[in-house]
Amino acid sequence: MKHVIIGGGAAGIKAAEQIRSLEKDSKITIIMEDMNIHSRCMLHKYLSGERNTEEMSFLPKEMEDELNIEFFRGYTISSVDTDRKLVKIFPLKDQADDVKAKEEMEDVSYDKLLIATGSNGFIPPAPGLREAKNVHCFRHLREAEIIREKAKDSENIAIIGAGLVGIDAAYGMLERGKKVTVIDMAVSIIPMQLCKKAGDMYQKLFEDDGCKFELGRKVSDTKMDSDGNITAIILDNGTEVKCDLVIAAAGERAAIRFLEGSSIKINRFIEVDDHMRTNVKDIFAAGNATGLSGTWPNAKKQAEVAAYNMCGFDKTYDDTYAMKNTMNFYGLATLSLGSGKEEEGDRIIEQQDSFGYRKAIIRNGVLDSVVLQGKNLNYAGVYQHIIKNKINIEDIIKDDENKVFKLSFADFYDTDDRGQYVYA
């Protein structure tokens, strides 16, 4: 059996590991655009200079050897021929090593195929951004390498996007002593994961380190020099943000353009069933490319399920809960679970003390969301279970609403009519 995996991220590597544990002698091939396996969560550490490419890998070299994988590093996908079971690839000119540096297309055949290509950054359609030579996304190590190299000769860095990716980039550039300005239409940072109060605490830490923020603002125009580099970004209020380098972190798109025109069903993302199968026989998908959840644990679970089914076993994916995030900047740790969106009639409970800030949103007696920020992030698994399964907690907190921040599984023990302990 020949298994081909497109993508060398968390999902792709997990699938390879699982396939090898199930089929010792099958051939496994991984095609990846980057030259090095790396943790996307640690890209800001690479940008800051705290880690090198070897330290970015989450797959030790000895384990990579044990897995006995054929790698095509520095290759991108042209198309997938589902009738002939061929993946058509070609080398990226700026990365391919001497052995693989061929301009002609290559065909990689497969018996089973897993698409785990993740997502790519998105450059907003503001004037000049997509044409400029000094505008780069920040989703992959190859992009971080370009940014880190160009930053050597850059003093002023403009970052478009104040979500997690943009704030990661800001951290990396600040650690290198750069002057950083973050621009976003939102009025607070990391708005998808944090309420304004939690986001404001991070914003202050970044501002204390020299970062400037232009929030609630749009990019309306740019100034460009004769070499095709943006020298200033003009905001909708007329403010000019001087820059030598621009990092676009305003969104992402599933990295599946190579599937356009194929028989694989796509609706912004690759459509899969609960076995991670696409509509085409012997083709599976996992991770960001499916739109199910791009979080590291979920992507790995999806890949594990796909691997089992690629090897002929029957395994389903049922953990589709994706609203969970953790982050840590300047020593301030945060856990965010749930939608975080307040609705009319919600019960909002907030608490702040020397241990940090906490917020819970309760809707019809059910815990919808929780943010824990500071020194005490205990019981994360409990909160995820309660929120994901929509468990009513009204009776538990009726005498003390602050008990919502001290929940444990013990709160849900009960006894049945035979005296046995059960979960309520």
Beta strands in 225-374 (DSSP E): 230-235, 240-242, 245-248, 252-254, 266-267, 269-270, 283-285, 324-329, 332-338, 347-353, 356-363, 366-374
Please give the chain's pLDDT, 424 residues, in tens.
999 999 999 999 999 999 999 999 999 999 999 999 998 888 999 999 999 988 888 888 888 888 999 999 999 999 999 999 999 999 886 554 444 444 567 999 999 999 999 999 999 999 999 999 999 999 999 999 999 999 999 999 999 999 999 999 999 999 999 999 999 999 999 999 999 999 999 999 999 999 999 999 999 999 999 999 999 999 999 999 999 999 999 999 999 999 998 999 999 999 999 999 999 999 999 999 999 876 888 899 999 999 999 999 999 998 766 678 889 999 999 999 988 889 999 999 999 998 899 999 999 999 999 999 998 777 777 888 889 889 999 999 989 999 999 887 776 655 556 655 455 5
Q: Residue 388: its pLDDT value, please?
A: 86
Distance CA 11, CA 272 (A): 15
Q: By three-state DSSP, how is residue 263 classified? A: coil
String of b and e for 80-115 (b: at least 16 CB within 10 Å)? bebeebbbebbbbeebbeeebeeeeebebebebbbb
Q: Is the pTM of this model over 0.85?
A: yes
Contact assessment for residue 139 and residue 46, using Cβ atoms and an 8 Å cutoff: no
Q: Which of 24, 39, 33 is nearest to 6 (CA)?
A: 33
Tell me how far CA of residue 307 lies from CA of 62, 289, 291, in angstroms.
22, 16, 18
pLDDT of residue 418: 62
pLDDT number for residue 99:
45
At 349 the three-state DSSP class reads strand
Residue 220 phi, psi dihedral angles, 5° rounding: -105, -25
Q: Taking the CA of residue 212 as centre, how many other CA atoms within 13 Å lie in the half-sphere pointing to its CB?
A: 13
